[in-house]
C-alpha cells in the first residue's frame, strides 16, 4: 500500500486514513522515523527513539484494521512523550542525570489511554531538569534547538516535544504546563498547545510520596499538535478521572453555546510594554474572531500582577524544598542550579507558614475576581509572552534576567495560578522569521469555547510555513 499520508498531515487525517484502510500505520511510522533520523541530530528535540517498538505497535494497529476492527480514534498516530511522563519503554528521567535509570513499571494513565486509542509512541521529548526552566537544556541530553532560528530559545519546559511536532518528527506531543511549559514552547515553535483545566487530565499517579501543593494545583498534562482539531481530539482521549490521581475528576462540560460569545482582548497586560510583533499577532487573532461572529472587547484582567507574583513566590518556596540536593541525593544540573538560585533570589520565597498560608488564601480572592469577569467575558485573548522569543539561556544570568523572564509571562502564569484552560496557537510568521502567536484563556472547564475560538483564529490567520 502506498500511503497517501505525508509528514505534514494532521492527527485527524492520519487516524482517519489508517482506520479507513487508506494508509498503513507501519508506513506512517516509517515516514516519521525517517524524519527523526534526518532532522533530530541537528535539533536534539528527541532524546530516545523507539524505532523497533514503534514498528511493532504499528503492525498491531494494522492487524486490527485488517481483521475489520477499530484500533481507536488515534490509530497509527506517531506521538512523542516528554521525559517526565511515564512510558515503560524508557526511563522517566525528568531531564536529570539522577533518574537516568528510572524505568517505570507502568505507563502513565494518559499514555495508556492514547496507546489504547491506537497512538504509537516514537520517541521521548527533551526538557530541562524537572521542568524547572523556560528554556530546554540539561546535563543529561543537552540543548534543544529552535528550528526557526538557532539564536532563539526553543522555550521550556516541553521544548523537545514542541520542536518535534513543529518539524513533523511527531504528530502529537505529550507535555505538561506548570508555568507556561506547553504554551511557551508552542509559541516558540509555531504549534498549538493546550493547557487543560486543573483536574481534567490526570497527572502522575501518587504512589506514597508527598507531592508539593504547587505541583498539585498549577501543573497539568496536555497535548501539542499542529492543528486545533488535533489537540481537541487528543483531549477527548486523555481526559477523565483516574484513581491514581486524586486531583483528577470527571469534570462537568461547559458547552460553548452556554456561554456569551464574547472575547476580551488584553494587548498590554498590566500596562506592560509589549513587542510590536506580539501586538500584531493579537490584532490578527482579534480580527479573525470578529469575522467569526464573536463580540470582541478590550479588557484588563483583575489583579494580574498579584496573581503572577503569588504564583512565583509559592512555586519557588516549594521548589527549594522539593529540589533540595540533600533530599534528591544528587545535585541538579548546572543550568537548573543557576535557574533555581536566580529565581528564588528574585522571588523571595516565603519563610513562615503564616505567609505561605496567607498567599494561598489570596488565591481565592483573585479567582473570584476572574470568575466574575468571565461570567460576562468568558474568553480572554492575549500574549503568551510580551516579547519575541529571546536568546538561549535568557532565563539565566542573575536576578535581572530571572525578573525579565517572569514578567514576560504574567498572563501565562496567571492561568496556571487559577487552574484555567488556555490554548496557545500561531498567528502567522513575524518579520524576524519566527512564528507569532497568542493564547486564549477560558473559564474553568470551558475547553469547548476555547477550542471553538481557536478554530476561528486558525481559519483566518496566515499559515506557518512547513519546516523541511
Active site residues: 82, 157, 181
Helix H or strand E encompassing 222: strand 220-225
Rounded to an integer, what distance in angstroms lies between the CA atom of residue 14 and that of residue 78? 9
User: What cell was used for 384?
Assistant: 503568551
Listed residue (149, 64, 174) closest to 388, CA to CA: 149
User: What cell was used for 451?
Assistant: 477550542
Question: What separation in angstroms does the CA of 326 have from each of 100, 310, 321, 323, 365?
Answer: 18, 26, 10, 8, 36
Rounded to an integer, what distance in angstroms lies between the CA atom of residue 311 and that of residue 298? 25
Preceding amide of 204 cis, omega within 30: no
CB burial of residue 94 (10 Å; 0-12, 13-18, 19+): buried
CB burial of residue 384 (10 Å; 0-12, 13-18, 19+): buried
* Longest Cα separation, the chain: 66
Torsion of CA 440, 157, 335, 91, to 10 degrees: 170
User: What cell was used for 113?
Assistant: 489511554
Rounded to an integer, what distance in angstroms lies between the CA atom of residue 111 and that of residue 104? 12
Give the dihedral sign, CA 312/223/278/157. Answer: positive
The contacts of residue 63 (CB under 8 Å, 6+ apart) are: none
Amino acid at each position: 500500500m502506498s500511503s497517501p499520508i505525508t509528514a505534514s498531515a494532521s492527527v485527524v487525517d492520519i487516524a482517519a486514513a489508517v482506520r479507513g484502510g487508506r494508509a498503513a500505520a507501519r508506513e506512517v511510522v516509517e515516514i516519521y522515523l525517517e524524519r527523526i533520523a534526518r532532522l533530530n541530530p541537528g535539533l536534539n528535540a528527541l532524546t530516545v527513539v523507539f524505532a523497533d517498538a514503534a514498528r511493532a505497535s504499528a503492525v498491531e494497529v494494522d492487524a486490527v484494521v485488517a481483521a475489520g476492527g477499530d484500533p481507536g480514534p488515534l490509530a497509527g498516530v506517531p506521538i512523542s512523550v516528554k521525559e517526565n511522563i511515564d512510558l515503560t519503554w524508557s526511563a522517566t528521567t525528568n531531564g536529570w542525570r539522577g533518574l537516568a535509570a528510572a524505568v517505570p513499571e507502568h505507563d502513565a494513565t494518559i499514555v495508556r489511554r492514547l496507546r489504547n486509542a491506537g497512538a504509537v509512541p516514537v520517541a521521548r521529548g527533551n526538557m530541562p531538569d524537572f521542568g524547572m526552566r523556560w528554556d530546554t537544556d540539561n546535563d543529561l541530553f543537552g540543548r534543544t534547538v529552535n528550528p526557526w532560528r538557532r539564536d532563539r530559545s526553543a522555550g521550556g519546559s516541553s521544548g523537545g516535544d514542541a520542536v518535534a511536532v513543529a518539524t513533523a518528527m511527531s504528530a502529537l506531543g505529550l507535555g505538561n504546563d506548570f508555568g507556561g511549559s506547553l504554551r511557551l514552547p508552542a509559541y516558540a515553535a509555531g504549534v498549538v498547545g493546550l493547557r487543560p483545566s486543573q483536574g481534567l487530565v490526570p497527572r502522575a499517579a501518587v504512589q506514597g510520596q508527598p507531592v508539593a501543593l504547587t505541583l498539585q494545583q498549577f501543573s497539568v498534562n496536555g497535548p501539542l499538535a499542529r492543528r486545533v482539531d488535533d489537540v481537541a481530539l487528543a483531549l477527548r482521549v486523555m481526559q477523565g478521572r483516574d484513581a491514581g490521581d486524586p486531583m483528577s475528576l470527571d469534570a462537568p462540560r461547559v458547552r460553548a453555546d452556554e456561554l456569551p460569545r464574547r472575547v476580551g482582548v488584553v494587548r498590554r497586560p498590566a500596562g506592560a510594554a509589549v513587542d510590536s510583533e506580539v501586538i500584531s499577532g493579537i490584532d490578527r487573532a482579534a480580527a479573525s474572531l470578529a469575522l467569526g461572529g464573536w463580540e470582541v472587547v478590550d479588557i484588563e484582567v483583575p489583579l494580574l500582577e498579584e496573581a503572577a507574583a503569588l504564583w512565583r513566590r509559592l512555586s519557588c518556596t516549594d521548589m527549594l524544598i522539593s529540589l533540595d540536593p540533600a533530599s534528591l541525593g544528587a545535585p541538579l544540573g548546572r543550568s537548573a542550579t543557576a535557574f533555581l538560585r536566580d529565581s528564588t533570589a528574585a522571588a523571595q520565597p516565603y519563610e513562615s507558614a503564616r505567609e505561605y498560608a496567607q498567599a494561598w488564601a489570596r488565591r481565592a480572592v483573585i479567582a473570584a475576581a476572574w470568575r466574575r469577569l468571565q461570567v460576562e467575558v468568558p474568553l480572554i485573548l492575549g500574549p503568551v509572552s510580551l516579547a519575541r522569543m529571546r536568546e538561549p539561556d535568557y532565563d539565566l544570568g542573575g536576578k535581572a534576567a530571572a525578573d525579565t523572564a517572569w514578567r514576560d509571562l504574567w498572563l501565562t502564569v496567571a492561568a496556571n495560578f487559577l487552574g484555567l484552560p488556555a490554548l496557545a496557537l500561531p498567528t502567522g510568521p513575524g518579520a524576524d522569521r519566527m512564528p507569532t502567536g497568542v493564547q486564549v484563556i477560558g473559564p474553568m472547564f470551558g475547553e469547548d469555547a476555547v477550542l471553538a475560538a481557536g478554530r476561528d483564529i486558525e481559519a483566518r490567520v496566515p499559515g506557518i510555513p512547513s519546516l523541511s
